[in-house]
Amino acid sequence: MNKVLQICFVFSILFYACASDDYQFSQLPEFREYYKKYPPRETEPTVEEKNLLHRFRPRFFLADGQEPFIDFYQDYITYGYLVDEKGSVISSNVDQALLNKLKNDPDIVFIHTYKHSQTTPAVYGRVDYDGLKVASQDTIELTFLTYNIVFRWSGLPAGLSQWKKSVLNWIGSMKDWHQLDHYVLVTLALNQQSVPVAATMQQHNYQTTYIFGKDIHLPPDGRIKVDIALSSNEMYPHSKKRTEHRAVQFLNSESVYYLITGDKKPLLAGNDITHGTNDIEYQLEFLPQGDAFYLFQGKLGESRRLPGRDGPPGADYNTIPALKPKATALVAFYRREDDMEFIELLKKWDNSVKSVPGSEILERYTKRFIEDLRSVSKYSVSKLE
């Protein structure tokens, strides 16, 4: 690859990284508005909710040699220290209680000091409720089961071209682009009869919704199979074969065409790679929605010189405020193969950090989802309506 293109690639990385880090994400005022409308629960899920989470807990698959996910508090927070805005050490004996005491301070940074420890891998389950609304029709109430898993660090897509990997390894580490990855999540949407109808998976700075019976298979036991991508940790439907998945940094009017069609590939785009050969046993754990795991406002990984490589805030800051409502994310991230209408809808809705999809666009997102859901199977139709 010629030097000019390599230089352009470096400047593109720096530009997009700086553009995405010119504010502290957790401090957006729209988040305050969201949490007023959807206040986080300060208690663990109820017995009935825990039973649902256990019943439909996903099966997560890793490739041979892929580092397993971990327990957030025992394997990550136990090994590290907290610093304040001046870089002064607050404590090197960090636990859940201390992290929660400081969770509302955006200037606090946790720095993980890696130690190879491995308790039983943990998956964190929570339950939310939201509804689909189309014009004058009655609201369709849904239950959302969300499962988060945790890795010590987040890497970049394994399917990047070799010259891009060389450039990126010169800038930083392809494997450890930033400390902590807890935005690794899948959300199941259940209808009023507690039947899963769709799954929404986190993939980089966007998500993808899959309808059961159309896009992916729901096993008889209700335990969806999910692959975790090499290096980047993104989630995709399970396949025993090595599979490449188109991936972009952000889902917007420029990148969406490549994501949908495979054409007009952006300079920063690459492929995620999955090869789900190992079914990982794990412990299902439960935390209050107000726990620091979800709502820590500072950084849960060290600050680094290159913007875009700082540690993230809590796991609930996984997408822009406009897409935080579960029903909104369910329909706004639903797209078909060669879906030109989705491309046009996204162009109409400027997918910026502060924008909210207009009522007309959101209604169309919802109608598309419901129409496809009703077309795939009798159980989805009869138990959704």
Reported as a single tens digit per residue, the pLDDT across 169-183 is 667 666 767 889 999
- CA 87 to CA 18: how far, in whole Å? 22
- Kindly report the backbone phi and psi dihedral angles of residue 337, in degrees, each rounded to the nearest multiple of 5, phi listed first: -70, 140
- Decide if 121 contacts 280 (C-beta within 8 A): yes
What integer pLDDT is reported at residue 165 of this predicted model? 67
Q: State which residues of the chain have pLDDT below 50.
A: 1, 4-22, 353, 379, 381-385
Q: Could you tell me which residues come within 8 angstroms of residue 1 by beta carbon, excluding any fewer than 6 positions away?
A: 161, 163
What integer pLDDT is reported at residue 186 of this predicted model? 98
What are the sequence ranges of the domains in the chain?
A: 3-384
* Residue (of 322, 343, 384) closest to 190 by Cα position: 384
* Residue (of 129, 193, 213) closest to 385 by Cα position: 193
What integer pLDDT is reported at residue 377 of this predicted model? 62
- CA 307 to CA 31: how far, in whole Å? 22
What integer pLDDT is reported at residue 2 of this predicted model? 55
Sign of CA dihedral 351, 357, 361, 365: positive
What integer pLDDT is reported at residue 236 of this predicted model? 98
* Residue (of 104, 130, 134, 247) closest to 191 by Cα position: 130
- Give me 56's structure tokens: 């439909």
What integer pLDDT is reported at residue 97 of this predicted model? 98
Distance linking the first and last C-alpha atoms of the chain: 55
What integer pLDDT is reported at residue 172 of this predicted model? 65
DSSP bridge pairs for 317: none
274-303 pLDDT tens trace: 999 999 999 999 999 999 999 999 999 998
What integer pLDDT is reported at residue 18 of this predicted model? 38
